[in-house]
Amino acid sequence: MKQTKILLIGAGGQLGSELTQGLWSIYGKDNVIASDIKEATGILQEGRYEKFDVMQRDKLFELIKKNDITQIYHLAALLSATGEKDPRWAWKLNMESLLFVLEAAHELKLYKVYWPSSIAAFGPTTPKTNTPQDTIMDPTTVYGITKLAGELWCEYYFRRYGVDVRSLRYPGLIGYKTPPGGGTTDYAVDIYFKAIREKKYECFLAADTYLPMMYMDDAVKATLDLMEAPAEKVKVRTSYNIGAMSFCPAQVASTIKKFIPDFSISYKPDFRQAIADSWPKSIDDSAARHDWGWQHQFGLEEMTKDILENLQQHPQYLA
Ligand code: AKB
């Protein structure tokens, strides 16, 4: 078996930078190459890094060969809200880049690929509460369409070519180390930054909009747990439902108020409300819990405490 060498594409995003650090702790900095279309910033400057555009198929193949890559984590994508501003480009970027990675995995015989799906793959007629693993999927955003199509491509490459590709349907991911990245769930990131900076927040979703959410530490753990699981335990080859908590903006605001009593919130829903209304409110992730032992750690209160303490102690994240 070759030495594990990982290429992480989209390392500059919210999940990417934290997943890179998770991979460093398992495989060592020498064996992880983080990449993004932009120059490395922050913590990413401390490890191996390639500035690279995933739409350059030849460059991708060259990078894999030159560095003896055995696994790819492909996170680069346009998210739901940004995708709606340029649907054609969102389709091209999200789909073609996935196909390049799957082709590379097949042709260059990589051991494993990770690609994230999302609750955005569900739609308005999907059951909203405890959304099952297998159910109606009728996404309304171009981002969601790329996630549903991408899940099927992953399963196709697994069945047809034996590519060991694994995936999670992430809920809204909340972290404090990078700014929000153009998603509908990103109010739950921005609210913490504004709570510290301005003690007030104007929310683009209505007060009672429930969505499935997860703290970044749990998202990194879920991803690494899935990728480290023995192949025979990974029974779902489209993408696993994965959950941790479900809350609405009013609940985040009242939890923040426990730590910052003069914090206030107002509501001005925009086009993102319709996107949020088309998504599940909570997720049934019993398949992930059963197949490879998924367990989350953070609820709303623990997450809020952790984020606010960290933002106060490390003001560089607020810059
Ligand atoms: C988004 O809001 O677009 C993402 C997602 C749920 O995939 N955070």
Asked whether the beta carbons of 206 and 267 are under 8 A apart, the reply is: yes
CATH architecture of 6-171+215-241: 3-Layer(aba) Sandwich (3.40)
Cα separation, 7 vs 5, whole angstroms: 7
Name all residues whose Cβ lies below 6 A of ligand 1: 79-80, 118-120, 143, 170, 172-173, 183-185
143, 146, 151, 271, best to mutate for ligand 1 pocket (most atoms within 8 Å of CB): 143
Helix, strand, or coil (residue 208): coil
| Range(s) of the chain covered by CATH 3.40.50.720 | 6-171+215-241
Nearest CA to ligand 1 atom 1: 183
Cβ-based neighbours of 198, under 8 Å, separated by 6 or more:
none
Spell out where the chain has E strands. 6-9, 32-36, 48-51, 71-74, 112-114, 117-118, 165-166, 168-170, 172-174, 200-203, 211-215, 240-241, 245-247, 264-267
Q: What is the pTM of this model?
A: 0.96
Cα separation, 43 vs 20, whole angstroms: 9
CA of 147 to the centre of ligand 1 (A): 11
15, 78, 79, best to mutate for ligand 1 pocket (most atoms within 8 Å of CB): 79
| Range(s) of the chain covered by CATH 3.90.25.10 | 173-213+244-283+297-318
Q: Is the dihedral of CA 47, 50, 55, 61 positive or negative?
A: negative
| Digit-coded pLDDT (tens) for 84-110 | 999 999 999 999 999 999 999 999 999
- pLDDT score of 1: 76
- Per the rule left: phi > 0, alpha: psi between -120 and 50, beta: everything else, 4 is beta
Closest atom of ligand 1 to CA, residue 141: 3
The residue count for the chain: 319
Q: Which CATH class is domain 173-213+244-283+297-318?
A: alpha beta
CA of 111 to the centre of ligand 1 (A): 28
- pLDDT score of 45: 96
- pLDDT score of 207: 98
CA of 181 to the centre of ligand 1 (A): 9
Per-residue pLDDT of the chain (319 residues; tens, 9 = 90+): 789 999 999 999 989 999 999 999 999 999 999 999 999 999 999 999 999 999 999 999 999 999 999 999 999 999 999 999 999 999 999 999 999 999 999 999 999 999 999 999 999 999 999 999 999 999 999 999 999 999 999 999 999 999 999 999 999 999 998 888 789 999 999 999 999 999 999 999 999 999 999 999 999 999 999 999 999 999 999 999 999 999 999 999 999 999 999 999 999 999 999 999 999 999 999 999 999 999 999 999 999 999 999 999 988 888 7
Taking alpha carbons only, the member of 167, 52, 53 closest to residue 112 is: 167
Question: Would you call 103 exposed, middle or buried from its count of C-beta atoms within 10 A (0-12, 13-18, 19+)?
Answer: middle
User: Any idea which residues carry the catalytic annotation?
Assistant: 143
CA of 184 to the centre of ligand 1 (A): 6
Provide the 8-state DSSP code for 96: I
Closest atom of ligand 1 to CA, residue 119: 6
HSE value, Cβ hemisphere, 13 Å, CA-based, for 63 = 28
Cα separation, 6 vs 63, whole angstroms: 11
Pairing of strands 211-215, 245-247: antiparallel
Cα separation, 243 vs 124, whole angstroms: 19
| Digit-coded pLDDT (tens) for 161-202 | 999 999 999 999 999 988 887 899 999 999 999 999 999 999
80, 137, 178, 275, best to mutate for ligand 1 pocket (most atoms within 8 Å of CB): 80
- pLDDT score of 68: 97
- Find residue 276's DSSP bridge partners: none
Q: Is the dihedral of CA 4, 71, 78, 243 positive or negative?
A: negative
CA of 306 to the centre of ligand 1 (A): 22
- pLDDT score of 179: 83
